[in-house]
Structure 1
Amino acid sequence: MSINAKEYVSNLIERARKAQAIADTFTQEKVDELCTAIAWNIVKPENAEKIAEMAVEESGLGNYEGKYAKLMTKIRGGLRDMKGQKSVGVIERDDEKKIIKIAKPVGVVAALVPCTNPEATPVLKSMFAIKGRNAIILAPHPRTKKTNTYIVNIMRETLKKFGAPEDLIIPVEPEYVSMDVSGELMKQADLVLATGGGGMVKAAYSSGTPAYGVGQGNAVTVVDETVDLKETANKIMRSKTFDFATSCSTENSCVVQEDIYDDFVKAMEAEGGYLVSPEEKEKLQKAMWHDGHLSSAIVAQAPEVIAKEAGIELPEGKTFFMVEETGIGPDYPFSGEKLSVVTTLFKYKEFEEAIEKVNAITSYHGRGHSCGIHSNNEDRILALALNTKTSRVMVRQPQCLANSGAWTNGMPMTLTLGCGTWGGNIASENITWKHLINVTWVSAPIESTQPTDEELFGDIMNK
């Protein structure tokens, strides 16, 4: 680490602390006004269109439609989840237990922003921070540093317009974006909010600063014989192709009941899926992995680009690839995370086998992240949820459009997904503003609630 990185970050932190001290005096009404203003100034069509264009052009990942849709949905959804929620002063009273809870800021948040979702992530994280009267410093991936600066400038102008310190939201400037600066930022901040690759998240947890990180994705969805296959295939297609699969939540594998497998494949083909031959599978594998690592040449790229890279002739109208597989683990890379418009197909006979496959696949990649199920059998749905080490189970939904919150489910809107201890994370929830406040508990005396030993231990005392 150079001394310049340490000094540069120290200056950013000092500016942020001064701004945060002012925010500490804000009322709930002021905080909510700022969050609403930030959201509106980002989702304005002229701004959202420019951001989506910049994100695709600078990163070379995903597509305009997906990034625009993320801005329109996640920013609005995040604001909806905040409206009417107390985050300033007294946020809860329990008269029976005589407990009062008071919300207070965490201080300065260091936010790491991935290049796969550079459009909505910095906005949501900033709104979450402001909701808790915090300041936030956004460190982008080098691949999207200009997009990050553009977005932050819109938010800073909004803060200024509404009478708040601009330095409540600070970008790491493009010329200073580096691993050294990000590392130093994580050390000097009060809390780290890390979204990105495994190495970055590990660095966040190793920084010595309290951190919320995310785990690797490798979502698996189970399809049984009780659902409409045409409808299910459409949902999977919409998720698999969204933003060319930049999302860690997209269906990397489908585990399908063997009696309906052929009909499922036909339904997927009707939705634009292309089932590769054994020879094409070999070509695709060589193109997608180099020395055991996913090739950047295929990550979040159009299907035509991937086909060209692999030397496969892709028929017109095909928008994603399907690869048949039987094995799981390092010797079977298609069972892992692919970050591309490629989904792997597995068969199962009895439902217990489907659960075993989900656990095996997510143990290889994506521990604790998520799985899904397309079934109308409530017993099977519950069995999957009870017996998999995943933090979220999406039922009859497009996985990547549902995991992080949708208008049609009850999940909190976010782009930061905790994966619990399974994924090396402290939280297994969707990370929101509620994770960016400290809470003081005020306790007054109440009448004794101590039970007798008989009430407490019951029959155990006589055994």
Structure 2
Amino acid sequence: MTVFPLVGTILRHHQQMHLMEMLKGHGLRFASLLRQEAYIGGKWVSASNGKLFPVTNPSTRKVIANVPDMDEVDTQAAIDAAYEAFQTWQRTTAKERSLLLRKWHNLMEEHKEDLALIMTAEAGKPLVEARGEIAYGSSFLEWYSEEARRIYGEVAQSPTNSKEMIFLRQPIGVTSMITPWNFPNAMITRKAAAALAAGCTCIIKPAEDTPLSGLAAVDLAEKAGFPPGVLNVVTASRKNTPAVGKLLCTSSKVAGISFTGSTAVGRHLYELCAHGIKRIGLELGGNAPFIVFNSANIKSAVEGLMVAKFRNTGQACISANRILVQEEIYDEFLEALKESVSKNLIVGDGFDKGVNQGPLINDSQLRKVENIVNESVAAGAKVVLGGKCLKKGSLFFEPTILSEVTEDMSCFQEEVFGPVISLKRFTTEEEALKIANSTDQGLASYFYSQDVSQVWRVARRLETGMVGINESLISAAEGAFGGVKQSGIGREGSKHGIDDFTYLKYLCIGVN
């Protein structure tokens, strides 16, 4: 979308006023959080080319904002700003960084309702879930405000009396962060909080579908007092994103990159980073198994599946994708699940009271879910509930249960990323493990069992970075989030989240 600067200013003002009035009707208090400019070097700026791209509410399909459509020129400016800021930011004390992160956390808490409203407007996420994400995102700022002061070194025992050996942890430098649309607040804070705590500076490239949440969060970071250039936000359309991402990976001034998104894109970014031998953290796609053994508490397993599957309308990388139920309890479990889905899920606009299932994010995502369901049904899967778009032209897809699924069907082979449950029977523990591990992805897995011996056996043998055992809500700032196989590299959250943003420096000191 190309506009002259004056026209762009008028358009942004018009869109901002419309969005402001709409959100005020839902309780918005601080319209200043509705940023429609990017943030580089401590200034709110437009794209150097004067271009904008639209942000759409997926519930109504109406344009609610226009933000800068930046390219390599703007990205280089952000890199330069972050590089310059790093020269002084790396020398700040852990206590100084801790206090700034705590101030940012406090502001996020103070403005949590406004941040949730903005998220619902651009992502369609039900307001109750948006509030939950803001609390989750804020928790990383709190956690890393504390971890900043616990980045310890080591003293090693020297092999001789003539020297001492010390290991220090130091920040790697400028870090690029490419974040997804499904959790537009928490995926920024989870990365940026760890990087800032370590002493790195950041360039954030939010997803083109949901830039407003990232801009609002960084507005609060500015108010918290982070110096110019320490945090930067580059916004870009789907068309410009590849060029922006390439520069963020290949610039000699960038020391590392953190990406959350699809395995295919992550693989490409990994290749781009190879030439510069960049530090890289990748949190990629999943195909999570959810196993229900005969000994499971069926009520608890159904409740757990409802959370693991329908959180954010199934648009989560750790969403349960392949549901395996032992044959003796399969029919009972299916009936209980059918009842729970029918009674508890309400689809609609995220602002409407009682809604807990919003729309899919865009047409591409809707087509993917529709195709997977149609292909699976054509291959023999049975539709127990749902199975189609709620209304022609909308992005709302019915909560769906497919039974009699086989391993070769699309719903088992691909990450659905939508509100679709695919059920398969299994006979033995060994069979369940074989099916669960028969994928090149290994992010999360879940299983329900009351057999203590089985819990230890299965937990150890599941080939995933995270395992929920009789529990499906596994995400927390204290947890080490990440996968194995082609689901990623590194960990986010926990004390280990600092690792991607620091390197060990070995000091060998002669003492004679």
Q: Is the 8 A contact 1:287 1:310 kept in 2?
A: no
Moved over 6 A (4+): 291-294
Are residues 151 and 425 of structure 1, via their aligned partners in 2, closer, same or farther at CA, if it must alter by over 3 Å? same
Q: Is the 8 A contact 2:389 2:398 kept in 1?
A: no
Could you list the per-position Cα deviations for residues 224-259 of structure 1 after superposition, in whole angstroms to 9, with x for gaps in the alignment?
A: 122221122112212322222221112112211111
Shift, 1:307, TM fit: 4.5
- The DSSP-based 3-state class of the residue aligned with 2:500 is helix
Q: Return the letter of the residue paired with 1:221.
A: F
Are 2:492 and 1:382 aligned? no
Q: Return the letter of the residue paired with 1:344.
A: S
Equivalent residues in 2 for 1:108-257, closer than 5 Å: 108-159=174-225, 164-173=226-235, 178-188=241-251, 189-208=254-273, 209-257=278-326
Could you list the per-position Cα deviations for residues 316-348 of structure 1 after superposition, in whole angstroms to 9, with x for gaps in the alignment?
A: xx984321133113x433553111121111111
Tell me, in whole angstroms, the C-alpha distance in 2 between the residues paired with 1:73 and 1:79. Answer: 10
Q: Is the 8 A contact 2:400 2:421 kept in 1?
A: yes
Tell me, in whole angstroms, the C-alpha distance in 2 between the residues paired with 1:324 and 1:371. Answer: 20
The match for 1:308 is 390
Q: Return the letter of the residue paired with 1:248.
A: C
The match for 1:69 is 132
Q: Is the 8 A contact 1:5 1:184 kept in 2?
A: no
TM-score by length of 1: 0.76
Could you list the per-position Cα deviations for residues 281-340 of structure 1 after superposition, in whole angstroms to 9, with x for gaps in the alignment?
A: xxxx9983449999xxxxxxxx989542599xx9xxx984321133113x4335531111
Q: Return the letter of the residue paired with 1:356.
A: K
Q: Return the letter of the residue paired with 1:322.
A: I
Would you say how many aligned residue pairs link Structure 1 and Structure 2? 398
Q: Is the 8 A contact 1:273 1:319 kept in 2?
A: no
Could you list the per-position Cα deviations for residues 192-222 of structure 1 after superposition, in whole angstroms to 9, with x for gaps in the alignment?
A: 0001123331232022233111221111111
Shift, 1:94, TM fit: 4.7
The match for 1:411 is 479
Equivalent residues in 2 for 1:403-442, closer than 5 Å: 404-405=475-476, 411-412=479-480, 417-420=481-484, 422-423=485-486, 425-427=488-490, 432-442=497-507
The match for 1:371 is 445
Q: Is the 8 A contact 1:224 1:256 kept in 2?
A: yes
Tell me, in whole angstroms, the C-alpha distance in 2 between the residues paired with 1:293 and 1:30. Answer: 55
Are 2:350 and 1:350 aligned? no
Shift, 1:182, TM fit: 2.1
Are residues 173 and 423 of structure 1, via their aligned partners in 2, closer, same or farther at CA, if it must alter by over 3 Å? closer
Are residues 293 and 58 of structure 1, via their aligned partners in 2, closer, same or farther at CA, if it must alter by over 3 Å? farther
Shift, 1:63, TM fit: 2.2
Are residues 110 and 385 of structure 1, via their aligned partners in 2, closer, same or farther at CA, if it must alter by over 3 Å? same
Structure (1/2) with the larger helix percentage: 1
- The DSSP-based 3-state class of the residue aligned with 1:83 is helix
Are residues 138 and 102 of structure 1, via their aligned partners in 2, closer, same or farther at CA, if it must alter by over 3 Å? same
Could you list the per-position Cα deviations for residues 142-180 of structure 1 after superposition, in whole angstroms to 9, with x for gaps in the alignment?
A: 111233222222212212xxxx41321000045796321
Q: Is the 8 A contact 1:194 1:200 kept in 2?
A: no
Q: Is the 8 A contact 1:141 1:177 kept in 2?
A: no
The match for 1:91 is 153
Q: Return the letter of the residue paired with 1:80.
A: W
Are residues 270 and 15 of structure 1, via their aligned partners in 2, closer, same or farther at CA, if it must alter by over 3 Å? same
- Structure 2 segments unaligned to the other structure (5+ residues): 1-47, 50-69, 344-365, 376-384
Shift, 1:22, TM fit: 1.4
Tell me, in whole angstroms, the C-alpha distance in 1 between the residues paired with 2:258 and 2:374. Answer: 26
TM-score by length of 2: 0.69
Of 327, 338, 345 in structure 1, the residue corresponding to residue 406 of structure 2 is: 327
Q: Return the letter of the residue paired with 1:442.
A: L
Shift, 1:92, TM fit: 3.3
Tell me, in whole angstroms, the C-alpha distance in 2 between the residues paired with 1:157 and 1:428. Answer: 29
Are residues 13 and 332 of structure 1, via their aligned partners in 2, closer, same or farther at CA, if it must alter by over 3 Å? closer
Are residues 177 and 37 of structure 1, via their aligned partners in 2, closer, same or farther at CA, if it must alter by over 3 Å? farther
The match for 2:19 is none
Tell me, in whole angstroms, the C-alpha distance in 2 between the residues paired with 1:31 and 1:85. Answer: 7
Q: Is the 8 A contact 1:51 1:147 kept in 2?
A: yes
Could you list the per-position Cα deviations for residues 127-154 of structure 1 after superposition, in whole angstroms to 9, with x for gaps in the alignment?
A: 1111011110000121112332222222
Q: Is the 8 A contact 2:310 2:419 kept in 1?
A: yes
Tell me, in whole angstroms, the C-alpha distance in 2 between the residues paired with 1:291 and 1:347. Answer: 20
Q: Return the letter of the residue paired with 1:375.
A: S
Structure (1/2) with the larger strand percentage: 2
Equivalent residues in 2 for 1:43-82, closer than 5 Å: 43-44=109-110, 47-60=111-124, 62-77=125-140, 79-80=142-143
Shift, 1:111, TM fit: 0.2
Tell me, in whole angstroms, the C-alpha distance in 2 between the residues paired with 1:226 and 1:184. Answer: 52
- The DSSP-based 3-state class of the residue aligned with 2:442 is coil
Q: Return the letter of the residue paired with 2:390.
A: K
The match for 1:269 is 338
Tell me, in whole angstroms, the C-alpha distance in 2 between the residues paired with 1:381 and 1:243. Answer: 28
Tell me, in whole angstroms, the C-alpha distance in 1 between the residues paired with 2:245 and 2:503. Answer: 24
Are residues 96 and 309 of structure 1, via their aligned partners in 2, closer, same or farther at CA, if it must alter by over 3 Å? farther
